[in-house]
Amino acid sequence: MPKVLILQHAEGEWIGSMEHWFADQEYSLSTVRLDHDEPLPEESAFDWLIVMGGPMSVYDETGYPWLVAEKRFIREAIDQNKTVLGICLGGQLIANALGATVKANTQQEIGWFDVYSADTQMSWLPEQFKPLSWHGDMFEVPEKATSLAYSKVTPSQGFASNERVIALQFHLEAQPGTAQAFLSLEHEGLPSGPTVQTEKELLDDCYLEQNQQVMFSLLDYLNSLPS
């Protein structure tokens, strides 16, 4: 049975709707809470690595010293040709592990905003859709990686580094309760800005079905790759 390791960085930032996809598959799931100082396992302990989001920044190694080991761990998983998927902070960690720059975006992007495909070769990726974005940082596309998506605010919303490594800036895993969980992490309240939606807008669930369909299509694609 293939083994999936999930790296979690904050309460409420787990795999969301992906849990329903895995429930119908022959996979075993385990989670490491890095924010609880849980140790990373040996690389032989998993086949898939899913790196989730969090309120911290990739470069905040002083405040979160476990980031150093995590980035090294991600790079080793990529070098061993494991399937690696990163969401938001997770995508930024993959980018950093591959030597790309992660930096503050020109403005924070928090809400349901249009994202556009930059790669028509990816059959799981719609030409245009509205995922949940919740970030102030952005990644650049690593050398030899392929840009997957962009938005009006964020030029790099996703990339693929070989067919097994996918990094996304947005939250395809969003399900009922996800926005509430993210809001609870905004201890000082939502920032202000032209691309920060109101709490009422953020709690609008009308885009969840489409997002789940795209999320499941991505997982189907990764599952179809030869072992």
Q: Chain-centre distance of CA 154, in angstroms? A: 15
Q: Which two tokens stand for residue 185?
A: 């992490």
Q: What is the CATH number of domain 3-224?
A: 3.40.50.880
Cα dihedral 175→216→115→187 (10° resolution): 30
3-class DSSP state for residue 19? helix
Q: Which of 221, 224, 218 has the alpha carbon at shortest distance from 18?
A: 218
Place of tokens 């997957």: 148
Residues 6+ apart with CB under 8 A from 95: 58, 101, 102, 139, 140, 141, 142, 159, 167
Main-chain dihedrals φ then ψ at residue 147, nearest 5 degrees: -65, 135
Report pLDDT digits (tens) over 122-153: 999 999 999 999 999 999 999 999 999 999 99
**Cα 175 from Cα 17, distance rounded (Å):** 6
Calculate the alpha carbon distances from 173 to 21, 33, 49, 194, 227 in Å. Answer: 11, 18, 15, 24, 24
Residue 53 and residue 92 in contact, taking contact as beta carbons nearer than 8 Å: no
Give 168: exposed, middle or buried? Use CB within 10 Å, 0-12, 13-18, 19+: buried
**Cα 100 from Cα 104, distance rounded (Å):** 13
pLDDT digit string (tens) for the chain, length 227 residues? 899 999 999 998 999 999 999 999 999 999 999 999 999 999 999 999 999 999 999 999 999 999 999 999 999 999 999 999 999 999 999 999 999 999 999 999 999 999 999 977 899 999 999 999 999 999 999 999 999 999 999 999 999 998 999 999 999 999 999 999 999 989 888 998 999 999 999 999 899 999 999 999 999 999 999 88
**Cα 12 from Cα 212, distance rounded (Å):** 17
